[in-house]
A and B are shown apart, each in its own frame.
Chain A
């Protein structure tokens, strides 16, 4: 009888309460608990106070038994399939900004007050900015830091802007200008 009263150590308890336990381990626990009031007591204390959960259960029933709203299921799948959280923009990626004291302004670029980062890709970053001179909001695309040093990449960037500027269509963004500031393409 003394052998079966060999109580499990901290690790044993941890695995028991984490639900991560092989069936044969679980049967050993069963046998042990039948014989050991001390361990039973310890387990009771670890899982005391069922009342809060009873209140929940009375109000909501078993949430795992209720069918989930199909639109919610679709939403969660859609979110999961998305590429996850948007890539955070590293401060280093906004290397071209000059500091600004205005609240809500990330920094300035030429005559524009940059307000936020709209998107980011391999080629560059797209910013939302305000042009005080004309009192309008604009989108600014800046070539990525990694490519800014390459003359070829800068030429390609400028050619792309010229090609887009030649198109006038409601589904194509109107290009207001392309320029290089401080040696970088913008």
Chain B
């Protein structure tokens, strides 16, 4: 249940084994929301973002199977970004053609005067940072009780006094203190495991 999380490189190597369902599950939990949320922020409707996410993740998993993962050629998430960027531009040009065929000229002109923002690497990096945090929290949340999570969140991240939190959760102050430390240590290990050098 609470093994030390694998490094990115080893997850990508495991992904090459089609039998390794656990590696695939881990992979989509981390990168699925990243691609989906980024696509949404780039202006895609939810269904389109989901289609794009599905296409990108499958394509990437296929590539990992064929290529040796080589961190010296750049980080995995930069590589993923180039795939996302390419699919987004394909999606945009397909939509452009469709709109041109049906819309009235005035509307079309208006649309062309306000082109969609170019996919921005800084936005991708920001989305990644957010996803690292959300993913790590979700992983830990599965392994701890509700009161442990609350004790951690309220004391470590919201700065509430230990005694009050302990009283409200029906825990001893030491238990709250333990929760705060244990959860943070685990979160830090998870974050470290997905951050590439």
B188 within 8 A of A: yes
Q: Which residues of B contact A59 (CB under 8 A)?
A: 130
Q: Mark A70-87, 1 if CB is under 8 A from B, else 0.
A: 011011101110111111
- Residue from B21, B53, B65, B172 within 8 A of A87 (CB atoms): B65
Q: Are B32 and A76 in contact, CB atoms less than 8 angstroms apart?
A: yes
Q: Are B144's CB and A19's CB within 8 A?
A: yes
Which residues B44-81 have CB closer than 8 A to chain A?
46-47, 49-50, 53-54, 57-58, 61-62, 64-66
Cβ of B163 < 8 Å from any Cβ of A? no
Given contacts A57-B157, A62-B137, contact A47 B32 (CB under 8 A): no
Say if the beta carbon of A109 comes within 8 Å of chain B.
no
Distance to closest chain B CB from A173 (angstroms): 22
Contact of B24 among A16, A54, A85, A89 (CB under 8 A): A85
**Chain B nearest Cβ from A130, distance in angstroms:** 19
Q: Is A69 an interface residue (CB 8 A)?
A: yes
Given A47-B188, A57-B157: A76 touches B29 (CB 8 Å cut-off): yes
**Interface size band for A:** 35 or more
Produce 1/0 per residue, B135-167, CB < 8 A to A. Answer: 001101101100001000100111100000000
Interface size class of B (residues with CB under 8 A): 35 or more
In the complex, the chain B residue whose C-beta lies closest to that of A26 is B178
Chain A residue numbers with a CB within 8 Å of B134 are 60, 63
Q: 7 shortest A-B CB distances, which residue pairs?
A: A88-B65, A85-B61, A20-B2, A71-B46, A63-B134, A57-B157, A84-B24
Q: Are A19 and B183 in contact (CB under 8 A)?
A: yes
Given contacts A53-B187, A84-B24, A86-B65, contact A63 B15 (CB under 8 A): no
Asked if A57 and B18 make an inter-chain contact with CB atoms under 8 angstroms apart, the answer reads no
Decide yes or no whether A56 CB sits under 8 A from chain B.
Answer: yes
User: A31: shortest Cβ distance to chain B, in Å?
Assistant: 8
B140 x A19 contact (CB < 8 A): yes
* Interchain CA distance A18-B15 in the complex, whole Å: 24
Which among A33, A72, A76 is the interface contact of B178 at CB below 8 angstroms?
A: A33
- Cβ-neighbour of B54 out of A62, A69, A79 (below 8 A): A79
Interchain Cβ contacts within 8 Å, total number:
140
Interface residues of B (CB under 8 A from A): 1-4, 15-16, 18, 20-21, 23-25, 27-29, 32-33, 36-37, 40, 46-47, 49-50, 53-54, 57-58, 61-62, 64-66, 129-130, 133-134, 137-138, 140-141, 143-144, 149, 153, 156-159, 172, 174-175, 177-178, 180-189
Q: Is the CB of A101 closer than 8 A to any CB of chain B?
A: no
- Of the residues A18, A46, A64, A86, contact of B137 by C-beta under 8 Å: A64
Q: Is A181 among interface residues, defined by CB-CB distance under 8 A?
A: no
Task: Determine whether the beta carbon of B178 is less than 8 Å from that of A17.
Answer: no
A87 to B47, CA, bound (A): 27
